[in-house]
Amino acid sequence: MLIGGIDPHRHDLSAMTMLKDNHIWAVGGSITRAVHAAKSAGGFAVKVEVECTNESEAEEAVRAGADVVMLDNFTPEGVKEAAGRLKMKLRKGGDQQGKGEGYEFLIEVSGGLTEENVAEYACKDVDVLSTSSVHQGVKHVDFSLKVVPKTGSKAGEVKEKEKSAEEGRSNESTAV
């Protein structure tokens, strides 16, 4: 996928903290508390992303310090409206007068995006379009890569000497 130009969401679970509904419920339902706990545990170098199902959750996540808010399962029109309002209200220089509240954050859109409909979700206020449809259901190639020394090469000569020595030892042990 990397060769095809796809940027993986994260390489492993330590690359970014992603807060989903279960994480938020685990701290009593407070997005703010969940973001603060994640920032505290991850330190300054780990980004925190919050999955949001509505605009007010996204606003709370941004105000709490989330680096990325994921608008999850929105309609294309709902994405455009919510992303526009969030950027105008919360991002530095986001409103008509170049003001806004000064928060730095990215807006990611996820949930239901496919190759066929992704263009409907794209707009100037969305930073990341995220889909798993590009790898779900794809048949993978099962192959093996073996390195075999070329005959006549130094590696091949060493391999041949080892093989001869091995055969010599097995002949000695079986001779009576």
H or E stretch at 55:
helix 55-64
26 and 95 co-located in one domain: yes
Full-model pTM: 0.71
Residue 86, both tokens: 């969030």
Domains contained in the chain, number: 2
CATH for 50: 3.20.20.70
- Domain of residue 102, residue span: 16-129
Total count of residues recorded for the chain:
176
93 and 167 co-located in one domain: no
41 and 95 co-located in one domain: yes
Q: Read off the pLDDT of residues 5-47 as tens digits, 9 standing for 90 and up.
A: 666 666 666 778 999 999 999 999 999 999 999 999 998 889 9
Q: Which residues pair with 49 in a beta bridge?
A: 18, 68
The predicted model gives 75-85 an average pLDDT of 96
Residue 100 resides in a domain? yes
Q: What is the mean pLDDT of the chain?
A: 82
Which of 103, 110, 117 minimizes the C-alpha distance to 53?
110
31 and 63 co-located in one domain: yes
DSSP string computed for 59-84: HHHHHHT-SEEEEES--HHHHHHHHH
Q: Read off the pLDDT of residues 100-131 as tens digits, 9 standing for 90 and up.
A: 678 999 999 999 888 899 999 999 999 999 87
The predicted model gives 39-60 an average pLDDT of 94
The predicted model gives 55-67 an average pLDDT of 96
Number of alpha helices (DSSP H) and beta strands (DSSP E) in the chain: 6, 5
Residue 39 resides in a domain? yes
* Sign of CA pseudo-dihedral 83, 85, 88, 91: negative
By the 10 Å C-beta count (0-12 exposed, 13-18 middle, 19+ buried), 121 is classed as buried
